[in-house]
Structure 1
Amino acid sequence: MTRTAPRFAALAAPLALVGCTTLPGTEPLPLSQERFWDALSSHCGNAYEGELASTDERDADWADKRMIAHWAECSDTRIAIAFHVADDEAEDGWNRSRTWIVTRTADGLRLKHDHRHEDGSEDAVTQYGGDTLSAGTARVQDFPVDAYSIALFEREGLSASLTNVWRIEVDPADTRGARFAYQLTRRNDPTRLFRAEFDASEPVAPPPAAWGW
């Protein structure tokens, strides 16, 4: 017995190291971002109805349209929220082309926009977004446009989007009157505001999967 003990000890050390391996993106974040992540995660699997809350004339086509945000996919490092908008021209009456993806990184949180066509193929303008530059709060995180997105917008002739700042606001699911909001502003245009708000206290039936998902 005494001869074999050292061999077992040698085997135990690598196993202990494997058990402590940290998944990429799961490193601790600032407390406010950890709480924000927990609040966002608390809605996993749920869907909520919402509407346009801003009045910018550039978004007139969005006014009075039904909207649904569906937490379609969640993991320890990524949350995908499908954004469905009522559309009479779509085959089933809904535009299911947009999915918001929030990811944990080593430096904070990242927001990307996954845009697809009805056949599931990627739109020419997709995977744009940005990373948090500050700790934000437990309820609100801002995502200024990143270099990849600026290059994409320049290539596609979308110069108005070069100073985009996206915002996500969320209350934990067990909060009375919980709300979820998605917002777009621009640093070079103080008049620009797109904001959609959702009643995150009353889940609705989950919709079909977003296009391409």
Structure 2
Amino acid sequence: MPNTCDVVVLLSGTGSNLQALIDSTRTGDSPVRIAAVISNRADAYGLQRASDAGIATRSLDHKGFEGREAFDAALIELIDEFNPKLVVLAGFMRILSADFVRHYQGRLLNIHPSLLPKYKGLHTHQRALEAGDAEHGCSVHFVTEELDGGPLVVQAVIPVELHDSPQSLAQRVHVQEHLIYPMAVRWFAEGRLTLGEQGALLDGQLLGASGHLIRN
């Protein structure tokens, strides 16, 4: 397929978002090609998902390095062997160094289980419930040096139900993650999504503070 966009996916866990991306590339008209999946954990189930789909896998144990910068330098070297146009974080449980983020500026996407800028970091579903929020959701954003703080691309919003637990909320948010992440990756692969000086652009138009908003 002409104009294929090679993507490298980084993950640390089960890889459910990776699976959604793999499934989305099987439509026959997808410009996305997952060139490799890399994990900092050799036992991550996401590597098995990739292997089952015929995708190259690599693991790089962060515990074998003297600090974050050394690991990130080795990770950059490994990623760049595959010459990707886009690097996708799919549950990669590492805080990335400034050098890493700058190296992939404008071609590094992440998904976060909250309606950013709310609830950066961990335990987002619990925090949304404790705050009594009426709505919750997930966000795809370009990665910058600010943790979970880069320009928003797309957010999916769901209502918080009366009897929701963190687990039930997480399950419903996961469904939305699996819809909006492949969508954002495809936009990038088609050349529709870019990072400009003022923020994320879709079809040349600056996306607002919330990105492209999808309500459910």
| TM-score (norm: length of structure 1) | 0.28
Give 1 or 2 for the bigger CA radius of gyration. Answer: 1
Higher strand residue share: 1
Higher relative CO (CA 8 A, sep ≥ 6), structure 1 or 2? 1
| TM-score (norm: length of structure 2) | 0.28
